[in-house]
Amino acid sequence: MAEVVVVTSGKGGVGKTTSTAALGAALAQGGENVVVVDFDVGLRNLDLIMGAERRVVFDLINVVQGDAKLHQALIRDKRLENLSLMPASQTRDKEALTEAGVARVIEEMREKFDWIICDSPAGIERGATLAMRHADRAVVVTNPEVSSVRDSDRIIGLLDSKTAKAEKGQRLSKHLLLTRYDPVRAQRGEMLKTEDVLEILSIPLLGIIPESQDVLRASNLGAPVTINSPASVAARAYAEAAKRLRGETVEVSLPAERPSFFGKLFGRRAVA
Amino acid sequence: MALVLAPEPPVAGWFQALDAQIARAPSFFDARPVIVDLAALPREQPDVAGLIQALAERGIRIIGTEGAHPNWHDVAKWGGPILTNGKGRPVEVPEQPPAAPAEPVPPVAEPAAAEPAAASLVIAQTVRSGQSVVHESGDVTVIGSVSSGAEILAGGSIHIYGSLRGRAIAGLGGSRQARIFCNKLHAELLAIEGVYKTADDMDPKLHGRSIQAWLDGERMSIAAMD
């Protein structure tokens, strides 16, 4: 039974694309057959994060409009053979996505894959609503900041009203992925507390991903962090989140890295 | 039910007060019929057309004018039906007492209809940012929270069994008996029958507490219930 998951947030820059790539790769590492789909037509990025930017021939728009077959547009990952990418078009805009076309492509993908992870564009317009349209579940990516939390709240409202599932009167399950969590700033009270975010959004927590240089480095190298540095704290947090997505019970641990020797040194210097 | 707006000279100053009101309660005039009482305007050369247009630009829906002086021509052209008998005195509108605002801050709601029949609406989930629940007759009960940027508008009272972080506007139909109850007060705005308080006007001690709000004469009172 294929699961369609939309990774969404409302706000831009919170880590949707990074999370799509990392979760997709982690699920594939667990033996699942996964496709990650870039819905950000006109501002495609997922191909870069996946390191497949020079392998794009056909894209989602070509398939939606019937100009290419699904298998022609899918790009198989070189590191994990059960991980594929459906790139977005960079030269078109979101108006090129048709409702019926997207429905057909998703249906076709359901037959080929176990997991279809849709990377939503920011905003609440056409691109975002079509990305969530056929989802069975949603991963709501949120930073511990008030603006991000409010935008996520808005998106949850749309997930409950504008998706095909919601219109049929069914409930779409939603998961909160708290990203760019900074334990040091959290300790100083400069970020919203996890429990406050959970209270406002009142959806179950999928995981807490720490702000990490490993994530940035992996993105720039064109590899999901779960492939590039699987031992890092961020990658482990993503891997655990992927397990929870598969229904396993894994306790959520707060990423509190012990400050490194240099961290201590600089910390003291800053005080002095 | 219609609101009566009574512009007073100087009109520019009156509009400033109106804009301040709209800024505090942007959805106050949404879908509310408005009658413009022109009686206070100067007899000589009032710029009624400009006034009507300025109101329209603010999204205020004018259903008629009253109090126009008989010497003024083309009143109908400016703003819908004239609710006067042609002698400069308002035609008697049932249950519509003439509005006489004491200060330039305008909206004074006067009920023209009878008390709304109570048909309550129950929402068993959180009302999310950007969502607006409008229930013109009766109470609204929310079993969940009302998020920042969400709003509940009810003809009757509003009951929230969770945190109120958005807006609650009760007594839409002019019911002065309407009250607002919530488990945790973090509201952006509370309003009952046109009288409102923004977060800044609320006692910080009530923040996060279980409260009720009601109309005490012309003022809104808020008291903790825990």
CB contact under 8 A, B145 and A200: yes
Where does A13-69 have alpha helices with state H? 16-29, 46-49, 60-64
**Contact assessment for residue A226 and residue A83, using Cβ atoms and an 8 Å cutoff:** no
pLDDT at B95: 44
Q: Are strands B189-192 and B33-37 parallel, antiparallel or unpaired?
A: unpaired
Q: Is A103 exposed, middle or buried (0-12, 13-18, 19+ CB in 10 A)?
A: middle
Report DSSP letters for B42-92, one per residue: -SSS--HHHHHHHHHHTT-EEEEEE---TT---HHHHHS-B-B-SSSSB--
Output b/e per residue, A181-206; b: 16+ Cβ within 10 A. bbbeebeeeebbebeebbebbbbebb
pLDDT at B161: 97
pLDDT at A135: 97
Q: Phi and psi for A138 in degrees, rounded to 5?
A: -130, 140
CB contact under 8 A, B163 and A156: no
Partner residue facing B149 (CB), from A150, A158, A160: A150
CB < 8 Å from A in window 90-129 of B: 125-129
pLDDT at B219: 93
The residue-averaged pLDDT of B30-43 equals 72
Question: Confidence class of residue A271 from pLDDT cuts 50, 70 and 90?
Answer: very low
Tell which of B123, B126, B127, B128 to mutate to test the A interface (max A CBs under 10 Å). B128
> Which chain B residues touch A154 with a CB distance below 8 Å?
128-130, 149
Tell which of B129, B145, B146 to mutate to test the A interface (max A CBs under 10 Å). B129
Q: Could you tell me the pTM of the whole model?
A: 0.71
User: How far away is chain A from the Cα of B105, in angstroms, using its nearest Cα?
Assistant: 32
pLDDT at A140: 98
pLDDT at B33: 64
ipTM above 0.85, yes or no: no
Hey, how many other C-beta atoms are within 10 angstroms of the C-beta on B66?
25
- Mean pLDDT (chain B) is 78
Q: Is the pLDDT of residue B102 over 70?
A: no
Partner residue facing B130 (CB), from A154, A199, A200: A154
Question: Confidence class of residue A137 from pLDDT cuts 50, 70 and 90?
Answer: very high
To 5 degrees, how large is the angle CA B127–CA B123–CA A247?
A: 70
Nearest one of A159, A105, A153 to A132, comparing CA atoms: A159
- C-alpha distances (whole Å) from B163 to each of A31, A180, A196, A201 are 42, 26, 12, 11
Q: Is the pLDDT of residue B103 over 60?
A: no
Shortest CA distance from A200: residue in chain B: B147
The residue-averaged pLDDT of B36-54 equals 76
**Contact assessment for residue B28 and residue B21, using Cβ atoms and an 8 Å cutoff:** yes
Of the listed ranges A13-22, B84-93, B172-181, the least confidently predicted one is B84-93
pLDDT at B80: 53
pLDDT at A93: 86
**Contact assessment for residue B65 and residue B6, using Cβ atoms and an 8 Å cutoff:** no
Q: Is the pLDDT of residue A73 over 80?
A: yes
**Which residues make beta-bridge pairs with A181?**
A210
User: How far away is chain A from the Cα of B198, in angstroms, using its nearest Cα?
Assistant: 19
CA distance A222 to A47: 8
Nearest one of A86, A43, A36, A30 to A61, comparing CA atoms: A86
> Which chain A residues touch B127 with a CB distance below 8 Å?
157
The residue-averaged pLDDT of A57-86 equals 96
> Which chain B residues touch A124 with a CB distance below 8 Å?
130
The residue-averaged pLDDT of B68-82 equals 60
CB < 8 Å from A in window 11-30 of B: none
> Which chain B residues touch A157 with a CB distance below 8 Å?
127-131, 150
CB < 8 Å from B in window 136-155 of A: 150-151, 153-154
Report DSSP letters for A56-89, one per residue: --S-HHHHHTTSS-HHHH-EE-SS-TTEEEEPPP
- The token pair that represents A262 in the structure block: 């240099």
Q: Is the pLDDT of residue B98 over 50?
A: no
Q: Is the pLDDT of residue B32 over 90?
A: no
Q: Is the pLDDT of residue B26 over 80?
A: no
User: How far away is chain A from the Cα of B170, in angstroms, using its nearest Cα?
Assistant: 22
Q: Is the pLDDT of residue B76 over 60?
A: no
**Which residues make beta-bridge pairs with B64?**
B35
Hey, how many other C-beta atoms are within 10 angstroms of the C-beta on A162?
16
Q: Is the pLDDT of residue B96 over 50?
A: no
Q: Is the Cβ of A200 closer than 8 Å to some Cβ of chain B?
A: yes
Question: Confidence class of residue B93 from pLDDT cuts 50, 70 and 90?
Answer: very low
- C-alpha distances (whole Å) from A157 to each of A203, A206, B130, B148 are 12, 19, 8, 12
pLDDT at B70: 65
Nearest one of A76, A79, A1, A18 to A241, comparing CA atoms: A18
Reported as a single tens digit per residue, the pLDDT across A158-212 is: 999 999 999 999 989 999 999 999 988 888 889 999 999 999 999 999 999 999 9
Q: Are strands A83-86 and A205-210 parallel, antiparallel or unpaired?
A: unpaired
CB contact under 8 A, B126 and A150: no
The alpha-carbon radius of gyration of chain B (Å, integer) is 19
Q: Is the peptide bond prior to B10 cis by the omega test (within 30 degrees of 0)?
A: yes
pLDDT at B77: 57
Partner residue facing B129 (CB), from A157, A160, A202: A157
Reported as a single tens digit per residue, the pLDDT across B106-149 is: 343 444 444 445 589 999 999 999 999 999 989 999 999 999 99
pLDDT at A5: 98
Of the listed ranges A39-53, A169-183, B9-23, the least confidently predicted one is B9-23
